[in-house]
Amino acid sequence: AKKIQHKIKNPSAEEVLALKPDVVFTYDWSDMNRVENLRNLGMNVIVLKGPATIEDIRHNVRTIAKAMNADSKGEELIKLMDSRLAQVKQQVAALKLQQPKKIVLVSLMSSYGGKGCIFDDMCKEAGVINGVSAAGIKNGQQVTKEMLVKIDPDLLIMPVYNDHGNFDIKKYNQDFLDDPSLQTMRAIKNKQLFYPNEGYIYNCSQDVVFGVQEIAHAAYGEAFAMQGVQHLRVK
């Protein structure tokens, strides 16, 4: 990213136009008024589905590849995804678990992580039980402390994002872990806490497969650990 001179965040339609893109990709959770403004300026805008499953990501990869006249590369990338997912699944199966680990994602987005989100689908691929989803809580619903105690997970995946040093994540986590109402939870009593690479956990690209591996790493140990930063790409 240091090599990129012109960095933009939430650009106006005019700023996007000034970059003279061949195509603009956006998710369907974006501001549709901005999408229309871009199209009215003559730009080719493709709206991708905000993925709730890994299959949705495969669909988006194919859509992007088609738009770039690179269908074969899209299929090649999907094969890389499927190969990594199969590898994780094979490793988990080799453990011959009597009972999958039950985990909960402690997110700064307190209504994220329930049934119907990408994290929930990642948990299925990683061979773990998403405690929030198993409790019948849908993505978008608030997860209260009372609900957490009732779920009683084996493991908590903790947040690490500090907003580039502008947010005291250590204090946030410590306040959470010291909360008297949560002390009966197995994960806290047994100190079963995992601090992930959140770039994988909150991922909507082909690299979601490394999020699956990171969840398996959290639940089942160092055999699933990754060496260095991982990224799927094709030439």
> What pLDDT is recorded for position 94?
96
> What pLDDT is recorded for position 30?
85
**Interacting residues of 106 by C-beta distance below 8 A, sequence separation 6+:** 156, 157, 158, 159, 173, 176
**Is 142 a member of any domain?**
yes
Number of domains in the chain: 1
**Is 17 a member of any domain?**
no
> What pLDDT is recorded for position 110?
84
**Is 141 a member of any domain?**
yes
> What pLDDT is recorded for position 8?
79
> What pLDDT is recorded for position 31?
85
**Is 159 a member of any domain?**
yes
**Interacting residues of 225 by C-beta distance below 8 A, sequence separation 6+:** 217
> What pLDDT is recorded for position 210?
97
> What pLDDT is recorded for position 9?
80
Name the token pair of 102: 């039950």
The 3-state DSSP composition of the chain as helix, strand, coil percent (nearest 5) reads 45, 10, 45
**Interacting residues of 134 by C-beta distance below 8 A, sequence separation 6+:** 102, 151
Q: What is the CATH number of the domain that holds 122?
A: 3.40.50.1980
Q: 103 near 154, Cβ under 8 Å?
A: yes
> What pLDDT is recorded for position 154?
97
**Is 128 a member of any domain?**
yes
Distance of CA 97 to the CA centre of its chain: 25
> What pLDDT is recorded for position 24?
94
**Is 1 a member of any domain?**
no
> What pLDDT is recorded for position 164?
83
Q: List residues bridging with 157 in a β-sheet.
A: 105, 194
Element (H, E) at 27: strand 24-27
**Is 68 a member of any domain?**
no
**pLDDT less than 70: residues of the chain:** none
Can you give the pTM of this predicted structure? 0.92
Which range of residues forms the domain containing residue 151? 94-224
**Is 65 a member of any domain?**
no
